[in-house]
Amino acid sequence: MLHTFVALVEDKPGVLTRVASLFRRLNINIVSLTVGRSEKQGTSRMTIVSEASPTAGHRIMASLYKLENVLQVDDIGQYSSVSRELALIKVAATPQTRSHIFELAEVFRARIVDLAPESLMIEITGVESKIEGLLQVLNESEDRILEVSRTGRMVMRRGEHTSRVLDAMRVAGVETKDEAEEEIVEIAAEEQV
């Protein structure tokens, strides 16, 4: 089962290493990892997609929250959300095949972002299946894929969102990460009911 975690972390050296090491220690594979600046000054947003058992989600979330420099963690795979990936695809192109590639880009609502004498670069944004579909069509046609660069999955909950974990911490007056972990486990148990 895929779990999607979003973590708000301090923008400091070593945070990514700590997160990756945690997943290594738990023997859980990271399928996708995206990191970038967030809306809050001095923080970054990590979106981590991992493959683990259905019951492992709470354990991973609590372990992430215990890490130094991790401010907030949310397992949003179970909620209504918007998910996107970005891919750049460089395709070999001759004057005879260019029009076909332009048509494919239009069908998949992608854009041509670079045009060179022997290649085209396509930018596509969307859900993973949309990107996989374009790659499959390009592989099946006479167009030869030269390079592919993809981001990991980026995810946000739909609508207005305030983290129940942070709300619970404020109400309970939680000061330490151990107390926060207990609150996370209690909230997760409530959500399962």
pLDDT averages per 10-residue partition of the chain, 193 residues? 90 92 92 90 92 85 90 84 91 90 94 94 94 92 87 83 52 54 59 48
- Whether 175 is covered by a domain: the verdict is no
Tell me the one-letter amino acid at 72: Q
Q: Are residues 58 and 14 in the same domain?
A: yes
Q: Are residues 95 and 130 in the same domain?
A: yes
Q: Are residues 32 and 86 in the same domain?
A: no
Q: Are residues 111 and 142 in the same domain?
A: yes
Return the biggest CA–CA distance within the chain.
Answer: 67
Q: Are residues 51 and 93 in the same domain?
A: no
Q: Are residues 7 and 73 in the same domain?
A: yes
Distance CA 81, CA 157 (A): 4
> What pLDDT score does 186 carry?
63
> What pLDDT score does 169 carry?
47
- Whether 75 is covered by a domain: the verdict is yes
> What pLDDT score does 58 carry?
85
- Whether 179 is covered by a domain: the verdict is no
Distance CA 126, CA 128 (A): 6
Q: Are residues 71 and 86 in the same domain?
A: no
Overall number of domains in the chain: 2
Q: Are residues 145 and 89 in the same domain?
A: yes
Domain boundary among 79, 102, 133: 79
- Whether 159 is covered by a domain: the verdict is no
Phi, psi of 34 (to 5 degrees): -125, 130
> What pLDDT score does 103 carry?
93
CA 168 vs. chain centroid, Å, equals: 25
- Whether 162 is covered by a domain: the verdict is no
Q: Are residues 133 and 112 in the same domain?
A: yes
- Whether 11 is covered by a domain: the verdict is yes
Taking each helix axis as running N to C, give the angle between helix 56-66 and helix 177-192, from 0 to 180 degrees, rounded to the nearest 10.
160
Domain boundary among 79, 95, 115: 79
- Indicate which CATH number applies to the domain containing 98: 3.30.70.1150
Q: Are residues 22 and 90 in the same domain?
A: no
Domain boundary among 22, 52, 79: 79
- Whether 176 is covered by a domain: the verdict is no
Instruction: Dihedral sign for Cα 40, 43, 49, 53, please.
Output: negative
CB 39 within 8 A of CB 109: no
Parent domain of 60: 1-79
> Minimal CA–CA distance to 103: which of 112, 95, 94, 91?
112
> What pLDDT score does 193 carry?
45
